Amino acid sequence: MTSTEVVDRAEALYEDHIRSQVEVGNRGRYIAIDIESGDYEVGDDRLTLSGILRTRNAAPVISILRIGYPAVGRIGSRSRLVSA
């Protein structure tokens, strides 16, 4: 599975099943989602969140999103050229 597929599945899970439960009061915090089980954890430290999911699930496939924002960061390099 590609990193794009993992992020897409996490975003779909978040929008369809999780958002309404966590968005209020957590804007700017992180959510780590195991896309295989649907299990998730909310907090302020991405590494800690991943560790918590790893203790609960044998082989999680984790994506981390920032609550209330379109993206946590970026994957790969960013081009300095901008096309109109």
- Distant-in-sequence, close-in-space partners of 8: CB < 8 Å, separation ≥ 6: none
Mean pLDDT of 5-29: 95
Q: Cα(51)–Cα(49) distance, rounded to whole angstroms?
A: 5
- Residue-level pLDDT at 75: 41
Residue 29 lies in a domain: yes
Do residues 39 and 57 touch, judged by C-beta distance below 8 A?
Answer: yes
**Domain-embedded: residue 84:** no
The answer to whether the pTM exceeds 0.85 is no
Determine the pLDDT at residue 72: 57
50 within domain boundaries? yes
pLDDT (tens digit, 9 = 90+) per residue, 30-67?
Answer: 999 999 999 999 999 999 999 999 999 989 999 999 99
Q: Residue 23: which domain range?
A: 3-66
- Please, where are the H alpha helices in the chain? 3-13, 19-22, 46-56
Report yes or no on 83 lying in a domain: no
- Domains in the chain: how many in total? 1
Confidence at residue 84, expressed as pLDDT on a 0 to 100 scale: 43
